[in-house]
Every structure is written in C-alpha cells, then in structure tokens.
Amino acid sequence: MLSREQELELIDMLRGVHPDEFGLDEELWTRQSLTTLIQRRFELPLDAGAVGAYLRAWGLGPREPRERACGLCVSAVERWVRSEYPGITRAAQEHLAEVYWIGRVRLRGTMPAADVISAVSSRGRVRFMITTPTVDPPLPRDFVLRLSGEEQRTVHLIVDGSWPRNEWPRRLPRRIVLHPLPSCGRAVAA
C-alpha cells in the first residue's frame, strides 16, 4: 500500500500530465497505466485491484445515473434514462462506439486542491485526468479528444451537471457526440 505521503506525491505527479508523457501507451490515465506508474515510481508491487481501490476512494468508478444528479434533478434524470438513454446506446452500437459518462469530483485533503475529471464507460472502464481546480473551468477539449484515442473511435459522451452546455468544447469532430444529462445547473462535483 502507498503511504499517505506517497499518495499525495502521486496525485501531484498526475496533475495536468497524461500517461504518454511518462512513456506509457495510454491517452488518459487508467487503472492499468496508474498501476505501472506506481510500480515504476515507488517500486511497489501493487496489483490492479489495489489501484482500483484508490480510484474508488478518489470517487472514481461506476455510479448510477441518479448519483450523477443533484437532488432537484433526480426524477428528470430517471425519466431521461428511460426515454433518451436507450436511443444513445442503440446509436453507439450501430457505430461500434463506446458510451462514456463524464463527471468531475474534487479530491479532498490535497494542497492545492485537485479535481479529477473522469469518464466511465458503460462497461465500467475508468479513464481520468487530474487538474488543479480553477473557478468554473470548462470541460477540457483535450480530455474529450483523448477519449476518442489515436484510432479516432466514435464515442458518445454523457456529460453530467459538472459543466453547463456553454462550457463544453466547441467544433468537435463528428465522431465525438456529447449528450447532456438533465441538470438544473447545480454542479454535482463531490
């Protein structure tokens, strides 16, 4: 296990940096790329399951759609899941695309504070980046583009209330389709 000091050092190492900058073959951080970095940096033989526990402790991982909504939006999100989400999954299947749920959480106990922007696929695969929070940061264009990968895969991205639509990247390639999760505009970052 990482000590608390090592965990904080790891978080600082990841701020604004992508795995390819460490010579890893990933566009965004994943459980596997993080495992490799920990093994290289701290010479600890952690397995992917132990690293997955860190990701869950950081607030990353699969969440129910209702957990991505503020209390005022839960019923709207539940209706959306019944009415809109099936069409998104059908379109994704037709395009051999992956569906990701995008959100943001704040890591507590770090100095300076850290935001984790994550995308969790409908299959449970977590991809993320760590940033230093600023006042109302927009959804990072680089993050969205990296979800499509070097292969330029088609992706459908469901964006929670962490970002209002006017803070989404503009003029994205057609292979990247953004879908808003119903939101009253209150941020749901943890």
Tokens 């965990």 label which residue?
Answer: 7
d(CA 17, CA 81): 34
* Tens-digit pLDDT profile for residues 127-144: 999 987 776 678 999 999
C-alpha neighbours within 13 Å on the C-beta side of residue 75: 1
* Sheet hosting strand 114-121, strand order edge to edge: 126-131, 114-121, 98-107, 155-159, 176-180
d(CA 56, CA 132): 20
d(CA 73, CA 67): 10
Q: Is the pLDDT of residue 8 over 80?
A: yes
* Tens-digit pLDDT profile for residues 148-176: 988 899 999 999 888 888 999 999 999 99
* Tens-digit pLDDT profile for residues 9-25: 999 999 999 999 999 99
| pTM of the entire predicted model | 0.89
Q: What is the pLDDT of residue 185?
A: 60
Q: How many Cβ atoms from other residues are within 10 Å of residue 177's Cβ?
A: 18
- Residue 151: partners with Cβ closer than 8 Å, 6 or more residues away: none
- DSSP alpha helix (H) spans, the chain: 4-14, 31-42, 48-57, 74-83, 85-94, 141-148
* Tens-digit pLDDT profile for residues 58-113: 888 777 777 777 777 888 899 999 999 999 999 999 999 999 999 998 887 888 88
* Tens-digit pLDDT profile for residues 105-131: 888 788 888 889 999 998 889 999 998
d(CA 171, CA 88): 20
Q: How many Cβ atoms from other residues are within 10 Å of residue 84's Cβ?
A: 15
